[in-house]
A = this chain, B = another copy of it.
Amino acid sequence: MTLTDRLSIRRSLFLSTALLVSGAQCVFAQEKNPAELSEYYSPVPEIVTPGKTSSDAPSDAIVLFNGKDASSWAAQDGGPVKWQVGDNAITVVGGTGTIHTKQGFGDCQLHIEFREPSEVKGEGQGRGNSGIFLMGRYELQVLDCYNNKTYVNGQTGSIYKQLVPLANACRPPGEWQTYDIIFTAPLFNEDGTVKAQARITVIHNGVLIQNNASIWGSTEYIGTPKYEKHGPKEALVLQDHGDRVSYRNIWIRPL
């Protein structure tokens, strides 16, 4: 339907209604139950079969790691991942570098489970450190903050050095933990300036810890965050920070 058509129709509707108003008192009733004026039938949302539990992937999710198969991932050098796959998990092997998905993602719902080493070693940022980099740039911190003090903008569930989590919902080391993430990618202007900041919602072990918060830019260890223009889809990256953090049940729904 062209713009002209649509506008004509709208106008006709308006005129016919006007006529109706000046007509007999029953004209409206012949047309519609008033409740029906606020009901419509399309487009029909997609049917998605949920997983058996909230850890299981819904039918439309891309399963990035099912406990056995790491083939959706590549090592930092582009080759096969060098992390350890076993016991239904994939575990960081310190010094082998980050791993990243072969596929890129933008706006998404991401479910990911992680487990801190049951043998507690180190303290602060030195205890069970890893990280989930949305679009390879925006780090949701993974750390063992169960009875472990560090800077609050770097604790578990922080957007590293940017957004302090609303709560510390860590489980003890050795137990599996969940992140349920809703991520909205940043938008850029043609000249590279930022049109809309990235936003993130995170539920950690069932507890809301980030509530549609705006991300400042790529997360940095030193210096200020900064947005650098990138594509609408970028790889998801898991960090090797030297500690034996494990991951499992990783699935993602592009939004």
A contact residues vs B (CB 8 Å cutoff): 3-4, 6-8, 11, 13-14, 17, 21, 25-35, 37-51, 53-54, 56, 58, 60, 76-78, 97-98, 100, 107, 109, 111, 136, 149, 151-155, 161-169, 171, 178, 180, 182, 184, 189, 191-195, 197, 199, 201, 203-209, 211-214, 216, 220-224, 226, 229, 234-235, 237, 253, 255
Contacts and interface: CB of A to CB of B under 8 A. Distances in A.
A196 B76 CA distance: 34
11 contacts: A17-B34, A28-B28, A45-B165, A48-B169, A50-B205, A58-B206, A109-B208, A166-B255, A182-B201, A182-B211, A216-B216
Contact of A7 (B32, B34, B97, B224): B97
A182 B201 CA distance: 10
A224 B189 contact: no
Contacts of A77: 4
Contact of A43 (B107, B152, B214): B152
B76 A40 contact: no
Nearest to A56: B206
Q: How many copies make up the complex?
A: 4
A42 B197 CA distance: 17
A255 B189 CA distance: 8
B100 A3 contact: yes
A11 B98 contact: yes
Nearest to A155: B45
B226 A197 contact: no
Given A26-B29, A100-B3, A208-B109, A152 B45 contact: yes
Nearest to A192: B43
